[in-house]
Chains A and B, each alone.
Chain A
Amino acid sequence: MFEILIQYGPKLIDGAAMTLQLTLFSVLIAMSLSLPLAILRRSEYVWCQWPIRLYVSFFRGTPLLAQLFLVYYGSGQFRLELTDLGVWWFFRDPFYCALLTFALNSTAYQIEILRGGLQAVSYGEIEAGLAFGMPRSLLYRKIILPHTYRIAFPALGNEIILMLKGGAIASVITLMDIMGQTRRIFSQTFDISVYFWAALIYLAITSAFVLLWRLLERRLTRHLRYQESNKSGKRNSTPTLTITDKKGQARAN
């Protein structure tokens, strides 16, 4: 059980690096694409809405494996055209194909998540910003987006974990991520314990990520906890606006 780890450990580490790379890049691409698309999705123009709706529905309604095959093998049908366009090098490489598919897939999921977040921003705050005469860009930067990302934060974390796990599919198109290395090692040794080590690596990565995400979330929501503790801590304060001085005594304003 341990000899396999000693012998093939470096291979598994290489695989983990590949998995992390693939997840990181596809999630980053998806993050940059999903925000403008989510905003467009909420615009009142129907011709903006429908293409995005179709896109989201398609990528959420089909298996990731089928999408990956469509991009990787499907592009082979247009090899001559793609060579003429000068982009064949991109579609020939399984890494780029996996990256493209995962980024498109994750974009679709993130659009839905961000749409929910955008919808949940309280309209009073937007109105307040408008009343101050904020231009749209400032309104988005200072009011809407911070709220949106705070609300969507846990769901975005889940989506990243799903992407990390979904990435195992890339092994089917010969990419040597954790799963790919594991399958190769198993086919060479027929030792079942390699699956156990692979599972441990995946669990370690996901747990580390969950921990990191929770810390980030605590930091993003610290203003909410501050309000909470003030509400529960200072019971004696009068219902009018109060300022608490250093001695903890509330004085009415």
Chain B
Amino acid sequence: MAWYEYLSFGSSGWGDELASGLGITLSLALVTLPFGLALGFSVAAASVSGKRIPRAIATLFTTLIRGLPELLTLFMIYHGVGLLINRTLKWLDPQAGFFELSPFVAGVVALGLVFGGYSGEVLRGAWQALDKGQREAAQAVGMGRWQVFRLIEVPQILRLALPGLGNLWINLLKDTALVSVIALSDLMRMANVAVGATKKPFVIFLAVCLTYWIICICFEWCIARLEKRANRGIRTT
């Protein structure tokens, strides 16, 4: 068999299996993104708020997340939360069977926490860079707190935070490879299966690396376009 036949689609090659893994990888990243962003916004809101306790919690959270390896966070969620749910179930109903936390959910939670921790810092920076006069102006025309946030602050925060968020999105895509360790059949996991069957690790893993690379380059291009669009009303020079 020539090397490229291992990657062909159909019953003999592993192309279709790898493609299905890629689907899982992308959907994991896409599902994580909204949760991570929402968490990031909450963290940023807590750290720009004047109150001491929310700010302390936000600082603690970002320090923790940024100080721990992503793999450890993932294992803590996968095993820790799984154990916690099982204990609770046993306590509620001693006859309850064993509940297994799905690796996909564990992956979304863990990667969402990581994304939330890092994006919280990015969003906080953007939030603090906003012109305070605009918020006052919005309040002066009678907007409520939520309206100010939605109509005045968010559009500008997103523009300022876009470069940082873009980097985090790329990191998130790459971090999804970690969930293969907890047996989610993503691209990396399917590659391992394919290697086990074909005994051609270099070909398969090189193909996987190139796939990740192409995806990252595509998203980098998209982010550059988005940045250009977000800054279209801003005077440069």
Interface residues of A (CB under 8 A from B): 57-58, 60-67, 69-70, 73-78, 165-169, 171-172, 179, 182-183, 186, 192, 195, 198-199, 202-203, 206-207
Which among B170, B188, B201 is the interface contact of A65 at CB below 8 angstroms?
B188
**Interface contact B216-A61, CB-CB below 8 Å:** yes
**Interface contact B71-A63, CB-CB below 8 Å:** no
Which among A58, A61, A73 is the interface contact of B205 at CB below 8 angstroms?
A73
Chain A CB within 8 A of B155 CB: no
**Interface contact A179-B69, CB-CB below 8 Å:** yes
Given contacts A192-B83, A202-B67, contact A66 B212 (CB under 8 A): yes
Nearest CB of chain B from residue A207's CB, rounded to whole Å: 7
Q: A78-B202, A202-B68 are in contact. List 19 more A-B contacts (CB 8 A).
A: A62-B174, A62-B209, A63-B175, A63-B176, A63-B178, A63-B188, A65-B178, A66-B209, A69-B205, A70-B202, A74-B205, A76-B202, A77-B199, A77-B200, A165-B70, A166-B69, A168-B72, A195-B80, A207-B67
Nearest CB of chain B from residue A161's CB, rounded to whole Å: 8
**Interface contact A58-B83, CB-CB below 8 Å:** no
**Interface contact A195-B72, CB-CB below 8 Å:** yes
Most buried by B among A69, A167, A168: A69
**Interface contact A192-B201, CB-CB below 8 Å:** no
The answer for the CA separation of A78 and B212 in the assembled complex, in Å, is: 23
**Interface contact B201-A62, CB-CB below 8 Å:** no
Given contacts A63-B175, A63-B212, contact A202 B205 (CB under 8 A): no
Most buried by B among A57, A199, A207: A199
Given contacts A61-B216, A62-B174, A172-B181, contact A195 B200 (CB under 8 A): no
The answer for the CA separation of A2 and B5 in the assembled complex, in Å, is: 54
**Interface contact A65-B177, CB-CB below 8 Å:** yes
Chain B interface size, under 10 / 10 to 19 / 20 to 34 / 35 or more = 35 or more
Q: Which B residue sits closest to A202, measured CB to CB?
A: B68
Nearest CB of chain A from residue B15's CB, rounded to whole Å: 17
Chain A CB within 8 A of B79 CB: yes
Which among A61, A66, A73, A165 is the interface contact of B69 at CB below 8 angstroms?
A165
Nearest CB of chain A from residue B69's CB, rounded to whole Å: 4
**Interface contact A66-B216, CB-CB below 8 Å:** no
Q: Which residues of B contact A77 (CB under 8 A)?
A: 199-203
The answer for the CA separation of A165 and B180 in the assembled complex, in Å, is: 18
The answer for the CA separation of A100 and B123 in the assembled complex, in Å, is: 35
Which among A60, A63, A70, A202 is the interface contact of B72 at CB below 8 angstroms?
A202
Q: Which residues of B contact A64 (CB under 8 A)?
A: 174
**Interface contact A70-B209, CB-CB below 8 Å:** yes
Nearest CB of chain B from residue A39's CB, rounded to whole Å: 25
The answer for the CA separation of A64 and B174 in the assembled complex, in Å, is: 8
Q: Which residues of B contact A57 (CB under 8 A)?
A: 213, 217
The answer for the CA separation of A73 and B199 in the assembled complex, in Å, is: 10
Q: Which residues of A contact B68 (CB under 8 A)?
A: 165, 199, 202-203
Which among B69, B83, B176, B188 is the interface contact of A202 at CB below 8 angstroms?
B69
**Interface contact A74-B71, CB-CB below 8 Å:** no
Q: Which residues of A contact B209 (CB under 8 A)?
A: 58, 62, 66-67, 70
A-B contact pairs, 24 of them (CB 8 A): A58-B209, A61-B217, A61-B220, A66-B212, A70-B205, A74-B202, A74-B206, A75-B202, A165-B69, A165-B70, A167-B69, A168-B70, A168-B71, A169-B69, A169-B178, A179-B72, A186-B75, A186-B79, A195-B72, A195-B80, A198-B72, A199-B72, A199-B76, A202-B67
Q: Which residues of A contact B195 (CB under 8 A)?
A: 73
Chain A CB within 8 A of B53 CB: no
Q: Which residues of B contact A60 (CB under 8 A)?
A: 216
Q: Which A residue sits closest to B187, measured CB to CB?
A: A66
